[in-house]
Chains A and B, each alone.
Chain A
Amino acid sequence: RKEVEQDPGPFNVPEGATVAFNCTYSNSASQSFFWYRQDCRKEPKLLMSVYSSGNEDGRFTAQLNRASQYISLLIRDSKLSDSATYLCVVNRPTSGTYKYIFGTGTRLKVLA
């Protein structure tokens, strides 16, 4: 079992729809959580950090459930430009340093 798991999709949704992605992690020592967006043939770019209290940035809402060890990303009013792969990233301490563990990503296609 992978340490960070995501549904690979693709999620095909019409413009204007609301879509939610979930991500689960297995190591309870995980401390920080992020969503990155990766466009085709591009580098990952930070979309948002995920805080325990939940946080929102425009149409994007991220939530963290430490007890159940999952993170979610909600996108409201989907735009064509939201089409990308969304990577769930977990940061945890290991051997005196911190390590980032990436999920395989969830592909989103927003259709006109």
Chain B
Amino acid sequence: EAGVAQSPRYKIIEKRQSVAFWCNPISGHATLYWYQQILGQGPKLLIQFQNNGVVDDSQLPKDRFSAERLKGVDSTLKIQPAKLEDSAVYLCASSPRTGPQPQHFGDGTRLSIL
């Protein structure tokens, strides 16, 4: 079974530029999550999709972050404009459905803001 795919693996941009990340979940997984992980901390949920609908985006900084999952499969996360504090690893995860079950993570995108 193919795992969660993410790209790019690394991205370096200057502050105020924009950046986009892509995620393709495990086939058949209805629930998709985007997390931000800052060095030394646990992952922090940014947004959760159930199919193509948003079920939780309470911690997404909506003035600069946006995400979509138009066809209920792959997803993109965008930051515009980027700030220095956005330097982090952005992890995508998926699970078969929402509920008390484990989720599976992609390799992540390491973002550095100069």
**Chain B residues positioned under 8 Å from A32 (CB to CB):** 100-101
- Rounded to whole angstroms, the CA-CA distance of A94 and B48 in the bound complex is 12
Give the CA-CA distance A87 to B91 in the complex, in Å.
Answer: 15
Known: A43-B91, A95-B56. A100 touches B103 (CB 8 A): yes
Q: Judging by beta carbons under 8 Å apart, are A105 and B42 in contact?
A: yes
Q: Please state if A104 and B40 are interface contacts (CB–CB under 8 Å).
A: yes
Q: How many residues of B are counted as interface, with CB atoms below 8 angstroms from the partner's CB atoms?
A: 24
- Given contact pairs A32-B101, A49-B102, A97 touches B50 in the complex (Cβ within 8 A): yes
Given A45-B105, A46-B104: A100 in contact with B45 (beta carbons within 8 A): yes
B72 in contact (CB, < 8 A): no
B68-114 contacts to A (CB < 8 Å): 91, 98-108, 110
Number of interface residues of A (CB under 8 A): 25
- Could you name 25 residue pairs across A and B whose Cβ atoms are closer than 8 Å? A4-B42, A8-B40, A32-B100, A34-B102, A41-B110, A42-B108, A43-B91, A43-B105, A44-B43, A45-B105, A87-B42, A94-B56, A95-B55, A95-B56, A97-B48, A97-B55, A97-B56, A97-B98, A98-B99, A99-B48, A100-B33, A102-B42, A104-B41, A104-B42, A105-B42
